Amino acid sequence: MAPERTRRDHAQSGNRDPFPVSYGIDLQLFSPGACPVDRRQFVLGSIAAVAAAPLASIARASISGADNKVPVPFSWDMKVPIGNREEFVDWAVKNRGEDPKFLAQRWNRMYAMTQNKDLTDERNKRAFLLTPREDFCRPVNRPHAYESAFLDIGWGVTISGPHAVGRMTQVLNVQTGEKVLEIGTGSGYQSAFLSHLTDKCYSIEIIKPLAERTRSVYDELIADGYTEFKAITTKQADGYYGWEENGPFDKIVVTCGIDHIPPPLLKQLKPNGVMVIPVGPPGAQRVLKVIKHQAADGSITVSRSDIFNKIVPFVPFTKLVDGEIKGAHNGDAKDTK
């Protein structure tokens, strides 16, 4: 059996650092009735709205003093026992060196998501089971990592609930080798999930210190043996304009709400490509699956379907103005600079 691992706090533990003034958010952008909101959930009237908090760092100290690495690195043909919790926990302890407590919780959540039809195929179930959500949560929230809840990660931002991430990823139907763009890196969990489905993940985060912190989480995990996270390329920018130099993309996933489909993102989506994006008025978005169709004459049309069949409030798709986060992109349909 692989040595047991422990984890230290990411960056620094203790008091939170003040929210950088240059990345302040206009809280009036948020609809008072829009609750719960996903990922970029700013908690009004609480320190979470104005403070940053450390994430977990990942140090795998072993009882025996052996090398602190994942025993068996990820591979595309890795056989993960999905159908039985005890078999999965035993396999993952031996092959991934992870904590059996979290492994059991992870399998239980996967089973619940399967029953709820958030995960419907073996590839996405496998990807969920291989992604250590606890490593993308703050230490205080790690016991709740596999609850169906949004958890604070600092700067007033949350890690999305597993059911939301699971269904949005499942609908993308990512295939190995496809190029995927994520708008809103946040905790890093979504792209970590995606890296078990393809080796070409690109992710943009608008909040600079959050982008830097999440990049450091990926880098520590890579050093610790999660080599699949080498697939993730990140940058800090306004995601409205996409990442043209690395496009076009087979799939795009957006984790903030807007009242239209950003033209630059649609342009960077390949013909027959799929985008999952919350679209609608503030606080009343519906998460849409958007398919881009290109006719023989080059004309473009899109088809849309509601993946939850209900309103799922997301906070606004904020924008950068002269390097500062100011306002949102609602109403910017013609803004394609």
Peptide bond preceding 281: is omega within 30 degrees of 0, i.e. cis?
no
Question: Whole-angstrom Cα distance, residue 187 to residue 277?
Answer: 18
Strand segments, DSSP code E, in 24-112 are 51-52
Classify residue 29 as left (phi > 0), alpha (psi -120 to 50) or beta. Answer: alpha
Q: What count of Cα atoms within 13 Å lies in the side-chain half-sphere of residue 297? A: 2
Q: Which helix (H) or strand (E) holds 200?
A: strand 200-205
Which residues face 202 on adjacent strands? 181, 233
Q: Which helix (H) or strand (E) holds 315?
A: none
Which residues face 146 on adjacent strands? none
**Cα–Cα distances in Å, from 100 out to 4, 6, 88, 106, 244?**
9, 12, 10, 10, 42
Name the catalytic one among 57, 160, 187, 191: 160
User: Comparing C-alpha atoms, which of 278, 53, 296 is closest to residue 151?
Assistant: 53
Structural contact between residues 70 and 225, judged by C-beta atoms closer than 8 angstroms: yes
Q: Does residue 57 have an active-site annotation?
A: no
Question: Whole-angstrom Cα distance, residue 290 to residue 302?
Answer: 6
Tokens for 311, please give them: 């309103």
In sequence order, what are the residues at sequence separation of 6 or more whose Cβ sits closer than 8 angstroms to the Cβ of residue 51? Answer: 16, 17, 18, 19, 154, 155, 156
Instruction: Determine the residue type at 84.
Output: N
Helix (H, G, I), strand (E, B) or coil at 174: coil
Question: Whole-angstrom Cα distance, residue 133 to residue 35?
Answer: 23
Q: What count of Cα atoms within 13 Å lies in the side-chain half-sphere of residue 193? A: 34
Q: Catalytic residues, which ones? A: 160
